Amino acid sequence: MTTLHDTTAPATAPAPDTATAPGPAARSVWPAATTEPRPGEVTVGGVGLTEIADRFGTPVYVLDEAEVRDRCRTYTHAFPDTEILYAAKAFLCRAMVHWVADEGLGLDVCSAGELELAVTTGFPADRIVLHGNAKTPRDLESALRLGVGRIVIDSPSEIARLAAAVGPDGHQRVMVRVVPGISAGGHEKIRTGTEDQKFGLSISDGYAQHAIARILDQPQLELTGLHCHLGSQITGVKPYLAAVRRLVGLMAALHRQHGVTLPELDLGGGHGIAYRPGEPALDLTALARRVRAELTGACTAAGLPVPRLIIEPGRAIAGPAGIALYHVVAVKHTGSHTYVAVDGGMSDNPRPALYGVRYAPRLIGRAGGAAVPVTVVGRHCEAGDVLAADIELPGDIRPGDLLAVPVAGAYHLSMASGYNMVGRPPVVAVRDGRARVLVRRESVGDMWVRDVGL
């Protein structure tokens, strides 16, 4: 089974004529089923990346089904007796719904669109949790109509809206998203456990406690537990332990004040992964062991039964299973910089522009020359359309070459846009030597059909 935190360096280089995977350091950012039969020729899931580019064009997202399933199993093995919800916002399509269902995971969705895609694919609605800081009437209507398992309340106004939508004779299980006042995450724009931001209800100012009291006064709403989400790209265990202590403290206060014992505690996700060799990743084994010990100890000290733990991994399941392929369109030497321009960019991966994510592209299809520093840029009309700044690629890189960007399975297609009307790339799944399209390429015709202005 693949591990999520292997960043050790290879002891020796493999012989060039032997079919091997990249060394352990590189494996930390490539699917486990990656091999390099010949220098420059890389296969994933038994399918060559150059073959995928030739068959399906570029840009194209490649998703290793076995890696997705392996990572689901890693979670179920590390967190027994825990409800694991795949965070659909990272990446969702009908095949992904089937895979996570097969592996026994639930789903965490944040819109009617994600919810309806999952349910119409056959996913049980009672294994789905809906959250979001600004749920629309359609979001709530779909959740109630389809019978979603739990709705996470994120603001005081949502309580009355939801109670009215449920009706006096209805019933809906809910949780409350609280802000524990903990700063964690890879960038300030993806830290959501701190005070004074748009998500959740603060413990420190009493808004969370007030909202909980209001929910307890609504007989058609059943409060099952507390929810928090600290942020994204968290690579250490300590923030989760601090969150456990603060949420159990709130649970104890609610028990004293209202006599209520909450059976669930949702710690969200945000589990960090390595985007480049040598970067840290969250140790799931340590996280599971220490969170369980912290939760048990805190509940024992408070005289509470241990609630059922819920976690919501998204990126850590989908991210390392994906690869983005691009063809080089131009190479430009300007001043002291070399810019390698590809046929995609911020429309299929806005994350470097949004919060400075750094990737490690590599040349595919041939053995290149000596490495030189370059910046890989996209085709879009923005100076900030940079996919990988100040990285090393072969100095003889030229138009027509193929570049692969690993760890592209999360927050690429789900955040893709229609900028410059280039169309969103397809998603191709690989497994056991076969490749198949999961999501087709968005055509110009797809975009034109929405334009009804004439």
Report, as residue numbers or ranges, the catalytic residues. 381
Q: Which residue do the tokens 């300007």 mark?
A: 334
The pair of structure tokens assigned to 21 is 């995977």
Q: Other CB atoms closer than 10 Å to residue 395's CB: what's the count?
A: 13
Q: State how far the Cα of 304 lies from the Cα of 223, in Å rounded to an integer.
A: 16
Helix axes 137-146, 112-120, angle to 10 degrees: 30
Backbone angles phi, psi at 258, to 5 degrees: -115, -10
Alpha carbon of 133 to those of 174, 178, 194: distances in Å? 14, 11, 15
Q: State how far the Cα of 37 lies from the Cα of 415, in Å rounded to an integer.
A: 34
Task: Answer whether 180's CB lies under 8 Å from 247's CB.
Answer: yes
Q: State how far the Cα of 401 lies from the Cα of 147, in Å rounded to an integer.
A: 50
Q: State how far the Cα of 403 lies from the Cα of 25, in Å rounded to an integer.
A: 19
Of the candidates 362, 371, 305, 311, the one whose C-alpha atom is nearest the C-alpha of residue 338 is: 371
